[in-house]
């Protein structure tokens, strides 16, 4: 007999001699598996699609997915659905039923601000009812919570609006009180023009007197040879006055860096240059007329020199004097101007904040109406829960197939054990394996004689 018998011997021996055991065990197990599969209920799946409305002020759908899932999987909501649909009644405790319901419920967020809710149940009716109840309850609770949030937001914005309105009134009263106390701050551009005009009026009157004296001394009082030059000077003077007035108005409303102020300042510079040129042209024209009409004498030369000197002073006063007057005036009013600009900027800032808050309040009121209005909630049903026509998973077939396979394996294992523990020699192969030598001859079994 060999020292050790290989396992293949017992395997072949089990197949040759104990195959009925394999058939019996496999048949019994398969029958039991078929019966179990027949009574195993199938699994049906129903699904509902929800759509989140997108409009100004609405939350982002990508961020709302996590919150909606937590609301859907709440124990209180699942317990209510379990009672209404009578799901998982075979489980003992309510917590076990809730945990099983969480396993059978799937919530997914999809692109395009849509969400899906699906439930697995043993019957089509249960799957449809559970999915429908979950979707309706989620929409109802989401609308209720958003309505409360919008209401709290509206109340907060109303309080902020009242506070800002009171602050705007206080700032405006403070600004008005400052202007009543220091009206020269608001009237600074007009004061600059008056100062400039008062400084040049005396020079203009003296210049006109000297010109009349020059005309009388030369006998040319009726000549109008320089009328064109005088008209040009008057037009330039009017343009200069308009440019000054325009710049003063712009500075009263805008800052120095504003494009309109820069353009007005450039126009003033051009007007000043044109006025200087017109003054020079008028003086040259008058001198030429005097030279051509009569020979110069001592009196006319003296008047001409005085006129030239006075015209130079007048031109300097009209062009440079304005800047000097403004500089002196600005220096005197600099502290008040700083305080005035600060008060005005603070008042404008509070007004702007109030305007933005009013826009936010309007959006919040519209959002509250849309969220609390009937049939116009933020979350709506795009595709309602349907009644499944076929099972999602045929568990009975799976149970039957698994049972048949397990029965065959179990039968083979039982036959192998029988071959292992049996010491009965059944044929020459058993003898050869056990003896470790070849069999020379086999004596047939004797029969009985009758």
| 282 shares its domain with 186 | yes
Side-chain half-sphere exposure of 133, counting CA atoms within 13 A: 21
Please check whether residue 450 lies inside any domain of the structure. Answer: no
User: Taking the CA atoms of the chain, what radius of gyration do you get in angstroms?
Assistant: 55
| 141 shares its domain with 205 | no
| 97 shares its domain with 124 | yes
Please check whether residue 252 lies inside any domain of the structure. Answer: yes
Six token digits for residue 420: 């292992």
Q: In what order do the strands lie in the sheet with 105-110?
A: 105-110, 114-121, 44-52, 379-383
Over residues 62-69, mean pLDDT: 82
Specify the higher pLDDT residue, 441 or 18.
18
Please check whether residue 223 lies inside any domain of the structure. Answer: yes
| 428 shares its domain with 282 | no
Interatomic CA distance for residues 416 and 15, integer angstroms: 8
Q: How many domains is the chain built from?
A: 3
| 230 shares its domain with 151 | no
| 243 shares its domain with 340 | yes
Model pLDDT for residues 182-191, shown as the tens digit of each residue: 777 665 544 4
Please check whether residue 419 lies inside any domain of the structure. Answer: yes
Model pLDDT, residue 193: 40
Please check whether residue 91 lies inside any domain of the structure. Answer: yes
436 has pLDDT over 70? no
pLDDT confidence band for 297 (50 / 70 / 90): low
| 192 shares its domain with 49 | no
| 299 shares its domain with 335 | yes
| 63 shares its domain with 35 | no
| 268 shares its domain with 226 | yes
For 132-162, give one letter per residue: b (16+ CB within 10 A) or e: bbbbebbbebbbeebbeebeebeeebeeeee
Please check whether residue 364 lies inside any domain of the structure. Answer: no
60-69, 166-175, 197-206, 423-432 — most confident range: 166-175
Model pLDDT, residue 7: 63
The neighbour count for residue 264, using CB atoms within 10 Å, is: 21
159 has pLDDT over 50? yes
Least confident segment among 49-53, 117-121, 395-399, 424-428: 424-428
Q: Which residue shows structure tokens 């914005």? A: 157
90 has pLDDT over 60? yes
| 287 shares its domain with 334 | yes
| 338 shares its domain with 208 | yes
Owning domain of residue 398 = 7-40+394-435
In angstroms, what CA-CA distances link 261 with 197, 248, 264, 276? 22, 9, 5, 23
Interatomic CA distance for residues 44 and 392, integer angstroms: 5
């Amino acid at each position: 007999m060999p020292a050790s018998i290989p396992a293949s011997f017992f395997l072949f021996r089990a197949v040759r001699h104990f195959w009925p055991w394999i058939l019996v065990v496999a048949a019994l197990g398969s029958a039991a598996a078929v019966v179990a599969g027949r009574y195993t209920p199938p699994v049906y799946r129903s699904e509902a699609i929800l759509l989140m409305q997108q409009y100004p002020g609405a939350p982002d759908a990508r961020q709302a997915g996590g919150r909606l899932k937590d609301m859907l999987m709440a124990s209180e909501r699942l317990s209510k659905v379990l009672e209404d649909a009578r799901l998982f009644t075979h489980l003992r405790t309510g917590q076990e039923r809730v945990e099983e319901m969480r396993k059978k419920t799937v919530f997914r967020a999809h692109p395009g601000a849509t969400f899906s809710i699906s439930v697995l149940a043993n019957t089509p009716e249960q799957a449809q009812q559970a999915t429908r109840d979950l979707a309706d309850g989620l929409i109802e609770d989401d609308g209720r919570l958003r309505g409360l949030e919008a209401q709290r937001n509206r109340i907060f914005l109303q309080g902020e609006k009242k506070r800002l309105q009171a602050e705007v009134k206080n700032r405006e009263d403070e600004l008005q009180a400052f202007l009543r106390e220091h009206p020269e701050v608001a009237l600074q551009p007009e004061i600059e023009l008056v100062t400039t005009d008062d400084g040049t009026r005396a020079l203009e009157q003296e210049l006109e007197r000297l010109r009349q004296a020059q005309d009388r001394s030369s006998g040319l009082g009726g000549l109008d040879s320089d009328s064109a030059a005088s008209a040009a000077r008057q037009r330039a003077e009017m343009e200069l006055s308009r440019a000054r007035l325009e710049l003063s108005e712009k500075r009263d409303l805008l800052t120095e860096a504003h494009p309109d102020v820069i353009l007005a300042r450039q126009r003033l510079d051009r007007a000043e240059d044109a006025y200087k040129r017109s003054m020079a042209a008028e003086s040259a024209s008058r001198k030429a007329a005097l030279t051509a009409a009569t020979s110069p004498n001592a009196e006319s030369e003296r008047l001409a020199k005085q006129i030239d000197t006075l015209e130079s002073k007048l031109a300097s006063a009209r062009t440079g004097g304005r800047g000097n007057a403004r500089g002196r005036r600005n220096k005197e009013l600099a502290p008040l101007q700083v305080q005035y600009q600060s008060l005005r900027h603070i008042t404008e800032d509070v007004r702007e904040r109030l305007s933005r808050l009013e826009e936010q309040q309007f959006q919040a009121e519209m959002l509250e109406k849309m969220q609390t209005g009937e049939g116009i909630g933020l979350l709506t049903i795009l595709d309602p829960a349907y009644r499944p026509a076929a099972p999602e998973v045929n568990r009975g077939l799976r149970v039957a197939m698994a049972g048949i396979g397990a029965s065959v394996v179990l039968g083979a294992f039982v036959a192998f054990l029988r071959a292992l523990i049996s010491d009965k020699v059944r044929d020459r192969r058993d003898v050869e394996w056990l003896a470790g030598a070849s069999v020379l001859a086999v004596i047939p079994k004797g029969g009985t004689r009758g």
